[in-house]
Amino acid sequence: MDGVALLTIFVLSIFVGFEVVSKVSTILHTPLMSGANAIHGVILVGAIIVAGHADTGVELWLGLVAIVMATVNMVGGFVVTDRMLQMFRPRQSAAKGSDA
Amino acid sequence: MDGVALLTIFVLSIFVGFEVVSKVSTILHTPLMSGANAIHGVILVGAIIVAGHADTGVELWLGLVAIVMATVNMVGGFVVTDRMLQMFRPRQSAAKGSDA
Amino acid sequence: MTTVVVPAETRPGERRVALVPESVGRLTALGVDVHIQAGAGLGANALDAAYSDAGATVVDGDIFAGADVVLSVNSLDADRVAALAPGTTVVSFLAPSASLDKVKAAQDAGITWLSMELVPRISRAQSMDALSSQGLVAGYRCALVAAERLPKFFPMLMTAAGTVKPAKVVVLGAGVAGLQAIATAKRLGAVVQAYDVRAAAADEIRSMGAKFIELDLESLEGAGGYAREMTEDRSQRQRDLLTPYITAADAVITTAAVPGRQAPMLVTRQMVETMAPGSVVVDLAAETGGNVEGSVAGEEVMIGHASVWGGLNVPSQMPVAASRLYSANLAAISELFLKEGAVVLDFDDEILDGSCVVHGGQVRFAPAREAIEGSG
Amino acid sequence: MTTVVVPAETRPGERRVALVPESVGRLTALGVDVHIQAGAGLGANALDAAYSDAGATVVDGDIFAGADVVLSVNSLDADRVAALAPGTTVVSFLAPSASLDKVKAAQDAGITWLSMELVPRISRAQSMDALSSQGLVAGYRCALVAAERLPKFFPMLMTAAGTVKPAKVVVLGAGVAGLQAIATAKRLGAVVQAYDVRAAAADEIRSMGAKFIELDLESLEGAGGYAREMTEDRSQRQRDLLTPYITAADAVITTAAVPGRQAPMLVTRQMVETMAPGSVVVDLAAETGGNVEGSVAGEEVMIGHASVWGGLNVPSQMPVAASRLYSANLAAISELFLKEGAVVLDFDDEILDGSCVVHGGQVRFAPAREAIEGSG
Amino acid sequence: MNQTWVQLAYLAAALCFVLALKGLSSPKFARRGNALGAIGATIAVVVTLVAEDFDHMPAILVAIAIGTVFGVPAARRVQMTAMPQLVALFNGVGGGAAAIVALVEFLSAGQDAGFGELTASAFTVLVGSMSFSGSVITFLKLQGLMTSRPVVFPGMQVLLPLTALVSVGLAGAVIGTQSISMIYALAAVSLLLGVLFVLPVGGADVPIVISLLNAATGVAVAASGFVLDNVLLLIAGTLVGASGTLLTLLMAKAMGRPIGSTLFGALSGSSSLGGGEASDRPVKSLGPSDVAVMLAYAERVVIVPGYGLAVAQAQGALKELVDLLGERGVEVSYGIHPVAGRMPGHMNVLLAEANVPYEQLKEMDEINPELPATDVALVVGANDVVNPAARTPGTPISGMPIINVDQAQSVVFLKRSMRPGFAGIENELLFDPKTQLLFGDAKDTLSQTVTALKSL
Amino acid sequence: MNQTWVQLAYLAAALCFVLALKGLSSPKFARRGNALGAIGATIAVVVTLVAEDFDHMPAILVAIAIGTVFGVPAARRVQMTAMPQLVALFNGVGGGAAAIVALVEFLSAGQDAGFGELTASAFTVLVGSMSFSGSVITFLKLQGLMTSRPVVFPGMQVLLPLTALVSVGLAGAVIGTQSISMIYALAAVSLLLGVLFVLPVGGADVPIVISLLNAATGVAVAASGFVLDNVLLLIAGTLVGASGTLLTLLMAKAMGRPIGSTLFGALSGSSSLGGGEASDRPVKSLGPSDVAVMLAYAERVVIVPGYGLAVAQAQGALKELVDLLGERGVEVSYGIHPVAGRMPGHMNVLLAEANVPYEQLKEMDEINPELPATDVALVVGANDVVNPAARTPGTPISGMPIINVDQAQSVVFLKRSMRPGFAGIENELLFDPKTQLLFGDAKDTLSQTVTALKSL
Ligand SMILES: NC(=O)c1ccc[n+]([C@@H]2O[C@H](COP(=O)([O-])OP(=O)(O)OC[C@H]3O[C@@H](n4cnc5c(N)ncnc54)[C@H](OP(=O)(O)O)[C@@H]3O)[C@@H](O)[C@H]2O)c1
Ligand SMILES: NC(=O)c1ccc[n+]([C@@H]2O[C@H](COP(=O)([O-])OP(=O)(O)OC[C@H]3O[C@@H](n4cnc5c(N)ncnc54)[C@H](OP(=O)(O)O)[C@@H]3O)[C@@H](O)[C@H]2O)c1
Ligand SMILES: NC(=O)c1ccc[n+]([C@@H]2O[C@H](COP(=O)([O-])OP(=O)(O)OC[C@H]3O[C@@H](n4cnc5c(N)ncnc54)[C@H](O)[C@@H]3O)[C@@H](O)[C@H]2O)c1
Ligand SMILES: NC(=O)c1ccc[n+]([C@@H]2O[C@H](COP(=O)([O-])OP(=O)(O)OC[C@H]3O[C@@H](n4cnc5c(N)ncnc54)[C@H](O)[C@@H]3O)[C@@H](O)[C@H]2O)c1
């Protein structure tokens, strides 16, 4: 993909990133941070690619370490976020009330 | 630019478009519509390009008509939006009050 | 020049005055002379000096001499009326059906008499509506009387020495006076429930923040927003259904009335006897027959363990406020018939037409005319 | 078994009772017998039957025979005290410095006397704080009395017959009673302004929604949250500064007190004379010297054009509420000294120590002791 | 000019557009936002003009000049009330321009165009043409050049979907055959489609349709961006398409009209807008946030409470609103009519309960002279006491003095319905052009207004 | 697999991430949002694995398995209170992974890399390494493995900027020389930079720093997207970078700490967090919207009003809050202490003024047994009446019965400061781990909470 396209995508993503979280309520600061943290675990994709293309042993080993680290980030991140969010399980009565 | 890049840009733009106006207050519906309307007057760019590249008389004339129309859309749109927004000139006292 | 006179009230215990100094200006602005009897305003804390300052003439002798218009709270005696110069206009309260002698005297003497009770309750006449203005005073006072006589608190209070429960107040009849009684009792913190027969009353009661007592009874709507009289059967059923509310109440305030009739009897002696010791009943309608069986106007009697206060001329118990409002009512109606300094009675005007009982030897108020013609 | 007796009050006009049926259970739960004199609760609407139902013995004869503890609102007569069995404990109001004869009698007879005024105002003792509970009743009543006596409305009302301005009420002294008076007058819609010498009072007054009258005077803080007595000079300056507020007021309510002293004189006769006709002054402190010059406890006198109501035993004017609260106070303090059915006076307890005037032939309350020793 | 620099300039312009839309959604930044949009557009046009050595440059510049000469004075001189139709017209020419651009590109590219480009071209022509003709019809309706009532004729239920089908078919044919005549046919049928689409829409729903057509033009512009491989057109068009769609939904929601019945209601016969009283005597209704903005940007506001305030027990919410306005520096007072409510002093009792300071309450005679200098009169659950019928003889309230809210610059009524008050007579003021209604229980609507005001 | 399909799948994954972040910002959709994020991540990984015929496939799968075996149980078993440090750790390994990816790509691409790619690589290594080491330090601080106080040593004011300069210089050298040793040096110095950056930050500010490092990792991932020409990494990284930056600012604002002094305060000596009472006895403060969420998602709430409610005259706002909670199905009652306020019945007078129904008022003896089953006790301007000091002898309030809010699941105090109440003694409950404070005038904070609640 050419540079301008990447730049455009980059700029638009900044806007999206800003806008989607701009209405977050304070109580969700920590879960949101944790969720965002899990999302950047997608560096796993990069780690797989470099490991998969590794030509030397160093590259492979580094790549595999990166994979382990990225997996921990991603998988652990989503799980821990979910645990944080358990307090937001909709209550019966509340759900009824807020739908009305 | 390749198709996927354009598609990505398209999708991200949809998000940005949705998100930036999602908090609009009712009173601004009309000015916002008018402003958005002016923005799509940027089709003028397209009209200039096709007119500039026109090979036949038909193409040129059509292109020139498109230029006139797009210019009306763009220039008129921004001016009329500005007029609508004149009621939002900050008042002295109000400005003071809301800063506090 | 036309002379408007304001005599001192002669009714025993009356403390109101028909015109307060603040209103004198509105009359003199109509181009008339205002004469006020010396000391007439004392009961309402209006000193003679205040009247002179306001532009009235304080008269020490015969106030009626040379009177063109007489403004009064209560109706004049028949003798007094007979002695007035023909063509004099009297404006005052006058229950015409119950005062046929006075009407007759006015007819014979050629007096014009405008009765404040008969001012039609149309929008334009609201500023002349003395029933409303005096009802307002009476309603407020009823609630205060109940609060002052109850040996308990009206409001709830949670204190180190235990929680004081709020008083339960039941108001029957939610006209002008009743609504004001509700408002006042609510303000003091009582839990107020109220009942009235008119259909609109439920909403009106709730709009005061009180609870409407829903009885399984049809509503009774008469002409002009007033209530109709009940049949004896409905009356009995209403009392039966109300009994539990009365029993549970710390204070009961009754203000029910039906124009031109005896006040409906809403609470029987037995009902009062079911009330707890120390309870208070305030019957605003005691003068016109009483909403509460056994209540005596102007007295406090014990029925069972409850003390029953019978209202007698209640607005007069708050003379300053009542006089100010009444005086404004009189000024407003005077502006209708005093044109360029002269009395001009235009009977095309619905208000003058409706409120005029007798004029130029003619009894214009039909029920009184029929009664007089029937009797003699 | 220990016997707690509740005699009928003998003070003229007293309608309260020291124990209401609702509180009997709290005492019997302490393992004591409760005896109540027949008819003692009548003034507070408590029937003898209610006492029996609650577990008390209604006594028709000599109530004091065999008494271990006597609960009373007012203090017993010196003769009555002298006749009690030695070791009897009496709990009641007792202004010890003003009742040296009674203290002496108790000392001689070996009586223990706990004075409700002397219960220290510490947090733990709040449930026994009879000054607060009776002050609450008195403050509410003062405001009602003022409202009922004023010939005008408290609230503002905009009506077709003109606008009724809200009454201006000035409250002087914002202790328990004063704050409650403020609250009640405010609820009724009056415009309330208040003044007190304590520094914390400004906030407290504002927290009731009333306006604090800012005078250019230093605040006076005594021990235990009470006020100090004023010097004559400050007193004079305070009166001068307050005069315009008094003049403008429709109603003035005074509740100022300094413990153990005469009530401060806050409003002079001249100040009252500047008030408009029909104004009302309510002096809660009339009994202890009066905040208003010329006020007479238990009477309504005219000063200038204003009517001045002097409070006399005001809590007793709302006997049901006052008795319930007082009774809870007594029950709470009884729980302190009745342990397993016996009277146990532990003077390590700050509350018993502070409130005990005399015990075992010893006057424990220093000012009284000094006065008695000094005089004899 | 270097292509990369052009692309970067386009990106900057796109950024301006994003920020413009963002600004336009908040009262505080709306004007700035609009200016930013204009800057973005200028950048885009200038960069385009200098990026390449175009043929026909003079003609192009003349065309731009002509467009400016048409557009600016029209926008400058238009009456406030005529703005919506002008916006519709502007939108229409924009859509038309997009269609023409795609058409010309189709003509010039000829056989070289790939499938994607062809599809985009056909789509742009279809949507652009439809937006053009539809906008022209809305213009005519609003300008009063044709009836503003829904226009429905027999067979329309069949004709509209048929036309839609035909145009889709023609689009397919264009892509398949690349025939020039087909694309002209597509343009023609799409124009018809636009007309048929807008005809059945009734007067009050027209703003929603304008917004929808605006979004459609945005989408057409985005598609033309695909056609021309121009990222700026793609982004700008998509932005307008997306935000316009959301805006359409928001507007429909604010007006309480489900979008489906708005568009196709008259056609399927389910709309109440086919005629009758309601559309003969239209009232203007608005939402709590509109009221909040009106009040926040007013200098003087007079509140006129009535019986409805008591029924709703909304005194607390009202007091909160007034307090908030006071904090913003708006001068607010209550105009109390002597017989508002159902009891003398009813409003006093209510407002005292909410702790409204007595000083804010003004009597009728005191407030009436102030009304001509009042920006907004907010009538909360009152009716008879502000009914100008009192000034003409022969009605049940004739001769009763009223609070002259009709002399205020604008009037907002808070009530639940069009039902009359105590006197049972209609209030002409409800239909006055300067009056707007916020329907609902006064407690609800007031507290929504408070919430909206806080977020301004 | 066809490259276009891979790209489309990546786009879908990116979409999931956008929606995930959107969901995570509203309590209602937060869990769904997180799940969507997980789905997006799964799509991305699976598509990557099947897109190409990678070498070392078994090793890769084993590495993924190992990562999962480490990550999941850690996340599952962690105590609620230890979550922040776990998040810090996760963030660190993510940053480390990004740095390694860029490093490996640098090693393998060698001399072929262009200027842009080189710059991106160096940037990724710098930011990723720094994020790694910084996160590890925060982890150690929070886990109690090192002091949570700001660590400052002499010369640090010089060392930190110096290290920063050196790393930038090394990055330049990497780009210029493409030397492998240079990039290792860059990694090492960046690790040091991360450590120096976090050391001076004090305990309470650590969450803000975690958020900042999180954003930094996002930026590193985005840069690695440039390196690998991978749009998904670009978008996902940018999203996290942008939202993380905003979140950091929002957090700093919510905690009332200017971001600058948070980070560099201890260093420049301007911070109050260097020691002393405040950090020895920390209280937890929170914002109105936190209180709104806590209350909205509670089953039972008890309100304990005190003198401060009267001082603030906040009875109306309180009533509105309670009404709103009631509408949401939360069970709310008021616990009235007999001596709350400054007059017997003070609270009754106040609450009656706000028209609170008498049934909602509960006496102390009635409410106390209910408190253990209460989710949130909201103490509005009260202090002495809930002070557990009353239970221990020797204090001025000993022996006074209190409302046992300390038995509730959590306690929120609304007060203006740490000042004591009437009795003048400190309230231990303010420092209790389950207590949180919302500072400010009760009327302001209550009405802000109401506004926040309405927007939930
Ligand atoms: N003050 C007195 O002493 C007294 C005594 C008796 C009669 N009156 C008469 O009463 C009338 C008073 O005039 P007014 O303007 O106060 O009242 P009104 O004319 O009766 O109008 C009240 C309006 O409030 C609206 N409303 C009712 N409930 C509402 C709610 N919950 N939320 C929002 N709006 C609500 C009603 O419209 P919707 O139904 O559409 O909501 C109605 O139009 C006068 O005609 C007067 O003569 C006065
Ligand atoms: N009820 C009675 O009869 C009576 C009579 C006399 C004394 N007392 C005594 O008064 C006390 C009553 O206890 P309490 O818990 O009600 O009151 P408190 O212990 O005095 O505490 C009141 C709290 O409210 C806070 N506050 C003050 N103004 C505020 C505002 N505008 N917004 C938010 N918070 C505010 C204060 O903290 P900040 O300054 O930090 O904001 C203070 O901590 C007891 O000690 C009781 O013994 C009672
Ligand atoms: N349009 C106006 O200008 C205007 C002005 C004032 C009052 N009003 C209306 O006039 C009406 C009467 O007011 P009023 O105060 O003069 O009434 P009133 O004094 O004649 O009667 C008092 C109330 O008693 C009620 N009542 C009668 N029989 C009853 C029964 N058996 N049980 C219970 N209640 C009974 C009546 O319904 C009335 O509400 C009200 O509807 C009031 O709103 C209208
Ligand atoms: N801690 C507790 O448990 C508790 C309980 C109840 C009352 N209190 C406090 O005790 C204090 C006194 O209450 P009280 O009602 O018993 O007081 P009180 O009856 O002794 O006096 C009434 C008020 O008069 C005021 N006063 C005295 N001289 C005055 C003057 N010259 N001018 C104006 N005002 C004057 C006093 O300041 C006091 O507020 C108050 O601060 C109250 O809050 C404490």
CATH code of the domain containing E369: 3.40.50.1220
Q: Is F307 in the pocket of ligand 2 (CB under 6 A)?
A: yes
Q: Which other chains touch chain A, taking contact as 3+ CB pairs less than 8 Å apart? A: B, E, F
Domain-embedded: residue E161: yes
Position E90, amino acid: F
Suggest the residue from A7, A9, A12, A18 to mutate for an interface test with chain E (most E CBs closer than 10 A).
A12
**Is position D226 annotated as part of the catalytic site?**
yes
Q: Are residues F256 and F109 in the same domain?
A: yes
The answer to whether residue D185 scores a pLDDT higher than 50 is yes
Q: Are residues E317 and E197 in the same domain?
A: no
Q: Which ligand is nearest to the CA of D176?
A: 4
- Return the pLDDT at E87: 92
The answer to whether residue B91 scores a pLDDT higher than 70 is no
Min CA distance, F337 vs chain C (Å)? 8
Q: Is E350 in the pocket of ligand 1 (CB under 6 A)?
A: no
CB atoms within 10 A of CB F153: 10
Alpha carbon distance A8, C187 (integer Å): 66
CB B36 within 8 A of CB E30: no
Give the total residue count for chain C: 376
Q: Does E352 touch chain D (CB under 8 A)?
A: yes
Domain-embedded: residue E191: yes
Residue nearest to atom 29 of ligand 2 (CA): F308
Q: Are residues F252 and F293 in the same domain?
A: no
Q: Do chains A and C touch (3 or more CB pairs under 8 A)?
A: no
Q: Nearest Cβ partner of B7 from F11, F18, F235? A: F11
The answer to whether residue E2 scores a pLDDT higher than 90 is no
CB F267 within 8 A of CB F160: yes
Q: Model confidence at D181, in pLDDT bands (50, 70, 90)?
A: very high
Question: Which residues face C356 on adjacent strands?
Answer: C114
Q: Does F290 touch chain A (CB under 8 A)?
A: yes
Q: What is the mean pLDDT of chain D?
A: 93
Min CA distance, F11 vs chain B (Å)? 7
Q: Are residues F257 and F302 in the same domain?
A: no
Q: Does E83 touch chain B (CB under 8 A)?
A: yes
pLDDT in tens, C306-356: 999 999 999 999 999 999 999 999 999 999 999 988 999 999 999 999 999
Within 8 A by CB and 6+ apart from E401, the residues are E364, E390
Instruction: Find the range with the poorest average confidence among A36-40, C4-8, E56-60, F353-357.
Output: F353-357
Min CA distance, A58 vs chain B (Å)? 34
First to last CA, chain D: 38
Alpha carbon distance F227, F234 (integer Å): 9
pLDDT < 70 positions in chain A? 1, 87-100
Residue nearest to atom 35 of ligand 1 (CA): E308
F60 to A51: CB separation less than 8 angstroms, yes or no: yes
Alpha carbon distance F358, B44 (integer Å): 68
Q: Does B2 touch chain E (CB under 8 A)?
A: no
Q: Is F430 in the pocket of ligand 2 (CB under 6 A)?
A: no
Q: Are residues F300 and F351 in the same domain?
A: yes
- Return the pLDDT at B89: 59
- Return the pLDDT at D98: 87
Q: Which ligand is nearest to the CA of E413?
A: 1
Contacts of C155 in chain F (CB under 8 A): 345, 348-349, 352
Alpha-carbon torsion (F235, F238, F242, F244), positive or negative: positive
Gap from CA of F403 to ligand 2 centroid (Å): 14
Suggest the residue from B40, B88, B99 to mutate for an interface test with chain E (most E CBs closer than 10 A).
B40
The answer to whether residue C236 scores a pLDDT higher than 50 is yes
> Could you write out the DSSP letters of every residue in C122-175?
-GGGGGG-HHHHHHHHHHHHHHHHHHHH-SS-SS-EEETTEEEPPPEEEEE--S
**Is position F55 annotated as part of the catalytic site?**
no
Q: Long-range contacts made by residues D357-360, C-beta under 8 angstroms, separation at least 24? A: D357/D94, D357/D96, D357/D103, D357/D106, D357/D113, D357/D114, D357/D115, D357/D118, D358/D103, D358/D106, D358/D107, D358/D111, D358/D112, D358/D113, D359/D112, D359/D113, D360/D110, D360/D112
Q: Is D181 in the pocket of ligand 4 (CB under 6 A)?
A: no
- Return the pLDDT at E452: 82
Q: Rounded mean pLDDT of B34-47?
A: 95
Q: Does F399 touch chain D (CB under 8 A)?
A: yes
CB C121 within 8 A of CB C224: yes
CB D334 within 8 A of CB D73: no
Residue nearest to atom 14 of ligand 4 (CA): D175
Q: Which atom of ligand 1 is nearest to the CA of E307?
A: 16
Asked: is D138-317 a CATH 3.40.50.720 domain? The reply is yes
Min CA distance, B4 vs chain F (Å)? 7
Position C289, amino acid: G
Q: Nearest Cβ partner of E344 from C132, C200, C209? A: C132
- The encoded tokens of residue F318 equal 């309180």
The answer to whether residue B69 scores a pLDDT higher than 70 is yes
F15 to B4: CB separation less than 8 angstroms, yes or no: no
pTM of the model: 0.79
The answer to whether residue E280 scores a pLDDT higher than 50 is no
Which residue range forms the structural domain that includes residue E192?
78-268
Q: Are residues E94 and E229 in the same domain?
A: yes
Min CA distance, B24 vs chain A (Å)? 13
D155 to E361: CB separation less than 8 angstroms, yes or no: no
Within 8 A by CB and 6+ apart from A51, the residues are A59, A60, A63, A64, A66, A67, F54, F56, F59, F60, F63, F104
- Return the pLDDT at A60: 94
Gap from CA of D255 to ligand 4 centroid (Å): 9
**Is position D51 annotated as part of the catalytic site?**
no
B40 to E287: CB separation less than 8 angstroms, yes or no: no
Position B84, amino acid: M
Q: Does E449 touch chain F (CB under 8 A)?
A: no
User: Which one of E323, E384, E432, E441 is the catalytic residue?
Assistant: E384
Q: Which CATH superfamily is domain C3-118+319-364 in?
A: NAD(P)-binding Rossmann-like Domain (3.40.50.720)
Q: Which other chains touch chain E, taking contact as 3+ CB pairs less than 8 Å apart? A: A, B, C, D, F
Alpha carbon distance D365, D354 (integer Å): 8
CB C1 within 8 A of CB C32: yes
Q: Are residues F263 and F312 in the same domain?
A: no
CB E446 within 8 A of CB E380: yes
Opening angle at CA E94, ends E90 and E100, nearest 5 = 145
Distance (Å) of CA B46 to CA A15, B14, B50, F410:
25, 21, 6, 62
Q: Nearest Cβ partner of F344 from D124, D133, D204? A: D133
- Return the pLDDT at F453: 86
Q: Is E141 in the pocket of ligand 1 (CB under 6 A)?
A: no
Min CA distance, E21 vs chain C (Å)? 46
A7 to E4: CB separation less than 8 angstroms, yes or no: no
Domain count, chain E: 2
Gap from CA of F415 to ligand 2 centroid (Å): 10
The answer to whether residue B95 scores a pLDDT higher than 80 is no
Alpha carbon distance F118, C188 (integer Å): 80
pLDDT in tens, F79-129: 777 888 899 999 999 999 999 999 999 998 866 778 888 999 999 999 999
Q: Which other chains touch chain D, taking contact as 3+ CB pairs less than 8 Å apart? A: C, E, F
- Return the pLDDT at C362: 93
- E strand or H helix that includes residue A82: helix A77-84
Alpha carbon distance C230, C195 (integer Å): 14
Q: Is F319 in the pocket of ligand 2 (CB under 6 A)?
A: no
Q: Are residues F197 and F87 in the same domain?
A: yes
Q: C138-317: same fold as C3-118+319-364?
A: yes
H helical segments located in D168-214? 176-187, 201-207
Q: Which ligand is nearest to the CA of E423?
A: 1
Closest CA to D51 of D41, D43, D61: D41
The answer to whether residue C62 scores a pLDDT higher than 80 is yes
Residue nearest to atom 5 of ligand 2 (CA): F342
Q: What percent of chain E has pLDDT over 90?
A: 58
The answer to whether residue C191 scores a pLDDT higher than 60 is yes
Domain-embedded: residue E10: no
C160 to F358: CB separation less than 8 angstroms, yes or no: no
Residue nearest to atom 44 of ligand 4 (CA): D121
Q: Are residues E236 and E292 in the same domain?
A: no
Q: Which ligand is nearest to the CA of D121?
A: 4
Question: Which residues face D306 on adjacent strands?
Answer: D303
Gap from CA of D175 to ligand 4 centroid (Å): 4
Q: Which atom of ligand 4 is nearest to the CA of F339?
A: 3
**Is position C126 annotated as part of the catalytic site?**
yes
Closest CA to D213 of D169, D175, D183: D169
CB E364 within 8 A of CB E347: no
Q: Which ligand is nearest to the CA of C266?
A: 3
Contacts of C155 in chain D (CB under 8 A): 140, 187
- E strand or H helix that includes residue F361: strand F361-363
Domain-embedded: residue F409: yes
Instruction: Find the range with the poorest average confidence among A86-90, C104-108, C261-265.
Output: A86-90
Q: Model confidence at E254, in pLDDT bands (50, 70, 90)?
A: low
Q: What is the mean pLDDT of chain E?
A: 88
The answer to whether residue F271 scores a pLDDT higher than 70 is no
Q: What ranges do the domains of chain C cover?
A: 3-118+319-364, 138-317
